[in-house]
C-alpha cells in the first residue's frame, strides 16, 4: 500500500482477530451477549459472504450509501473485488482500487465476512493520494474510518467492542 512505516498494523490486526473470534463464538453458541471492559453488549449479526461476487455486490452497495458518499470523496471511485491466492490475508491495492479476498479453502472462509471487507473499504476511503500517501496505512485516520463504517453498517455495539479491543491493544485513535 505505501512505503510509510505502519506502526499500528500488528495491533490493529490482533484486535480485529479477537473481535472476529467473539463474533464467531456468538454465532456458534447462539449467545450474543458478551462482556467488554465491564459492559454487557449484545453483538449484532455480522454478514458473511458466499462468494467473491457477493462481496463485490456488498462493496458496491456500501459505496453508494448517501452518508458514505458525503463523508468520503473516494467513495465515488469504484472498488473491484477479486479472489486472492493463499488463505493468510486479504488486502487492498490502492494503485488499482482492488480488494483481494481469499476464497473458501479447506472448508474455511475466514475473510468472507463483513468486518474484513469493511477494513479493506476503510483503506480505499483514505483521502490521501493513493500514489503518494502521507499517513500510515493503519494509523488513527484509518482506524476512525473503520470504526465509523462498523458503527453505521454493523452497529454501534460492534463498533464499541472493536474500539475497546483496539484501545486495550494500544492502538491510537483520532
- Any residues with CB less than 8 A from the CB of 38 and at least 6 apart, and which? none
What is the reported pTM?
Answer: 0.93
Q: Which domains does the chain have, with CATH numbers?
A: 9-168 (3.30.2010.10)
**Rg (the chain; Cα; Å):** 15
Contact predicate 170/11, CB 8 Å: yes
pLDDT at 151: 98
- Any residues with CB less than 8 A from the CB of 46 and at least 6 apart, and which? 23, 113, 114, 115, 154, 158
**At how many degrees (to 10) do helices 114-124 and 52-63 cross?**
50
Can you say how many angstroms the Cα of residue 159 is from the centroid of all Cα atoms in its chain? 11
Is the pLDDT at 170 greater than 80? The verdict is yes
Quickly count: other Cβ atoms within 10 Å of residue 93's Cβ: 18
Rounded Cα distance, 45 and 154, in Å: 7
Is the pLDDT at 63 greater than 90? The verdict is yes
pLDDT at 3: 58
**At how many degrees (to 10) do helices 114-124 and 9-29 cross?**
150
Q: What is the DSSP letter of 52?
A: H
pLDDT at 1: 44
Q: What is the pLDDT of residues 110-143, one digit of tens each?
A: 899 999 999 999 999 998 876 666 678 899 999 9
Amino acid at each position: 500500500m505505501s512505503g510509510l512505516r505502519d506502526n499500528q498494523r500488528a495491533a490493529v490486526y490482533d484486535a480485529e482477530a479477537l473481535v472476529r473470534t467473539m463474533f464467531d463464538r456468538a454465532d456458534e453458541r447462539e449467545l450474543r451477549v458478551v462482556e467488554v471492559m465491564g459492559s454487557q453488549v449484545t453483538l449484532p449479526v455480522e454478514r458473511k459472504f458466499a462468494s467473491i461476487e457477493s462481496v463485490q455486490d456488498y462493496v458496491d452497495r456500501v459505496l453508494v450509501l448517501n452518508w458514505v458518499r458525503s463523508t468520503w470523496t473516494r467513495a465515488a471511485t469504484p472498488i473491484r473485488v477479486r479472489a486472492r491466492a493463499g488463505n493468510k490475508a486479504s488486502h487492498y491495492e490502492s494503485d488499482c482500487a482492488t480488494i483481494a479476498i481469499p476464497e473458501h479453502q479447506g472448508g474455511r472462509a475466514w475473510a468472507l465476512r463483513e468486518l474484513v471487507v469493511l477494513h479493506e473499504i476503510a483503506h480505499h476511503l483514505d483521502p490521501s493520494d493513493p500514489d503518494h500517501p502521507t499517513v500510515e496505512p493503519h494509523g488513527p485516520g484509518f482506524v476512525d474510518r473503520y470504526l465509523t463504517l462498523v458503527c453505521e453498517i454493523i452497529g454501534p455495539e460492534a463498533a464499541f467492542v472493536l474500539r475497546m479491543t483496539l484501545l486495550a491493544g494500544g492502538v491510537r485513535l483520532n
